[in-house]
Amino acid sequence: MPRREWFFRVQDMLDALARIREYTASLDEVSFRSNRLVVDAVIRNIATLGEAASAVPFDVRERHPAIPWQKLVSMRNVLVHEYFGISLEVVWRTIQDDLPPLSTLLADLDKAEGGP
């Protein structure tokens, strides 16, 4: 499979964030934790965020240091490799506290870097 250009990965990240918002918009933490389908979908999309972030070139990451590139990659690694130890409390806090500003930062990157 041919390698995708990095700016498409940023769009993948924006799409994953939109899906997470859609899946969790009407939920509180208790509802989220009890809905395994939503939990699985959110975890998959957070993993997509980290995988896509790892494909963004270092020079682009340096130009956008407010984006927590390494944290995204690290969280993906935990979700994929330490799946048996996932804390749904941490996932919920991530959804509520960390992902909304990330959407803005990635949209700003997309505009600044002139993706397709």
pTM of the model: 0.91
Tell me the residue range of the domain where 34 lies: 6-113
DSSP helix/strand/coil, 64:
coil
Residue type, 105: L
CB atoms inside a 10 Å sphere around CB 35: 15
Catalytic choice (9, 19, 81, 93): 81
81: annotated active-site residue: yes
Domain membership of residue 96 (yes or no) is yes
pLDDT 10s digits, 20-34: 999 999 999 999 999
Count of domains for the chain:
1
Residue 114, phi-psi category: left (phi > 0), alpha (psi -120 to 50), beta (remainder): left
CA distance 23 to 54: 24
Burial 7-20 (b: 16+ CB within 10 A, else e): bebbbbbbebbeeb
pLDDT 10s digits, 48-58: 999 999 999 99
Domain membership of residue 80 (yes or no) is yes
When pLDDT is cut at 50, 70 and 90, the band that residue 5 belongs to is confident
Query: Is the pLDDT reported for residue 1 higher than 50?
Result: no
Catalytic choice (9, 44, 64, 76): 76
4: annotated active-site residue: no
Domain membership of residue 1 (yes or no) is no
Q: What's the mean per-residue pLDDT of the chain?
A: 93
Domain membership of residue 54 (yes or no) is yes
Query: Is the pLDDT reported for residue 8 higher than 60?
Result: yes
